[in-house]
Amino acid sequence: MSDAPVIRSDVPGSFPWAVFHERHPRLVRQVLDALPYGPAERAAVERLLVESTTGVLEPLGEDAPDAAQWREWGGLVWGRPWGEAPFLWAESYFYRRLLDAIGYFRPGAWQGIDPFAPFKNAELAGVAVDEELVALSELDALPRTKRAEALLSSALWGNRADLGFQITAGPGGPASSGLLADDSAVLWSELDRAGDGRVCVVADNAGRELLPDLVLIDHLLTDGRAAEVVLYVKPQPYFVSDATTADVLASVDRLRTAPSAAAQAVGSRLWQALNRGTLVLRTHPFFCAPLPYHDLPADLRAELAGAALTILKGDLNYRRLVGDRLWPPTTPFAETAGHFPSAVAALRTLKSDVIVGLDAATVARLDGTGTTWRVDGRHAVIQVCAGS
């Protein structure tokens, strides 16, 4: 086990502290403004905000379907201040409790209603999406390698379009300033080496991230880089804009009805791929678990082990892959990701303190800028741990 410190949210002024004390209060206001929840839901959400900033961790009620599971996942944290739990654990539990507060799992009018749907829907309906989809037609003119690079790049930078991040960074976030690690050549050679195997994609955000992910998936299938793609989504609303099955369906529909023939063609091919089973949608409760991928349950581990390559999208998946710790940033990526059951590629823009696999000169340069480069979304990595 590593002795790199586990990140916690109890250091005032730190990024994780700001997530609980600045980002979550804004998020809660937006959720309560977006849907007409009644007094009981509103009061429960306000209580959660107080508990998660100044109180101690209370378990789920016994009537919750996953109460026993969470008790076990919590171990010794119950009754401790939220900030003393690992940041990854506490953030995940915050989203679970938010669903509890708004009645997502309770029989009643709000059961199954995604509290983040108004934000996701608005993003998907936006004109910016139309413009991005129109630009797809330009890709057909590019040579194969350039087209593949462009699709990978838009799936990568699509990760900036995360609604939770935008709550503090503003729409679109700051301008990007580049890749800090680029193993894309290894990614393509892993795919070519595997021939026509199965590629797993663990999705992150819906909307403007999922759309380029789906276009990349279409490319993998149509260009002979994968015989089958399994797209993993969250079983329930999570971290604001994380994609669920409903979000995939909305995105495929957005493509099929887009004002761009190229986008419509992608949408139709994806629909047919779903029909034929060359594109498979799957989920698992572990995708909303507060644990790192080191602790994958046996069934999901076995499923992923059959992949030629697994592509993990986004910041949270990165934290779960390498471990949510303050690693020395020059720690080799393979040292932290080698436990994964298949070859694995992380496509991630940096939105939290965790980072590995950088060279010392890059770290010194970034630290010398005096900016919040680890969390401001301006930088990205494509890191690959190849199969043996």
Ligand X SMILES: O=P(O)(O)OC[C@H]1O[C@](O)(CO)[C@@H](O)[C@@H]1O
Binding site for ligand X (CB under 6 A): 19, 91, 159, 162, 164-165, 204-205, 239, 314-316, 319, 351-352
C-alpha 160/C-alpha 241 separation (Å) is 12
Closest CA to 9 of 53, 70, 56, 49: 53
Backbone angles phi, psi at 383, to 5 degrees: -125, 135
Find the helix or strand (DSSP H, E) in which 337 lies: helix 333-337
Based on CB atoms, which residue is closest to ligand X, 205 or 342?
205
Based on CB atoms, which residue is closest to ligand X, 133 or 321?
321
Name the residue type at position 359: D
Based on CB atoms, which residue is closest to ligand X, 319 or 325?
319
Q: With contact defined as beta carbons under 8 Å apart, do 104 and 95 qualify?
A: no
Based on CB atoms, which residue is closest to ligand X, 123 or 315?
315
Q: What is the token pair recorded at 196? A: 């026509």
Q: What is the token pair recorded at 311? A: 């592509």
Q: With contact defined as beta carbons under 8 Å apart, do 180 and 369 qualify?
A: no
25: left (phi over 0), alpha (psi -120 to 50) or beta: alpha
Based on CB atoms, which residue is closest to ligand X, 8 or 198?
8
CB of 101 to ligand X, least distance (A): 18
CB of 167 to ligand X, least distance (A): 9
CB of 320 to ligand X, least distance (A): 9
CB of 328 to ligand X, least distance (A): 20
The greatest distance separating any two alpha carbons of the chain, rounded to the nearest whole angstrom, comes to: 60
Based on CB atoms, which residue is closest to ligand X, 132 or 315?
315
CB of 354 to ligand X, least distance (A): 8
Place of tokens 């401001």: 376
Q: Is the dihedral of CA 137, 142, 148, 152 positive or negative?
A: negative
Based on CB atoms, which residue is closest to ligand X, 204 or 228?
204
CB of 189 to ligand X, least distance (A): 26
CB of 383 to ligand X, least distance (A): 14
Q: What are the angstrom distances between the C-alpha of 375 and each of 313, 329, 349?
A: 16, 14, 9
Place of tokens 């996701």: 120
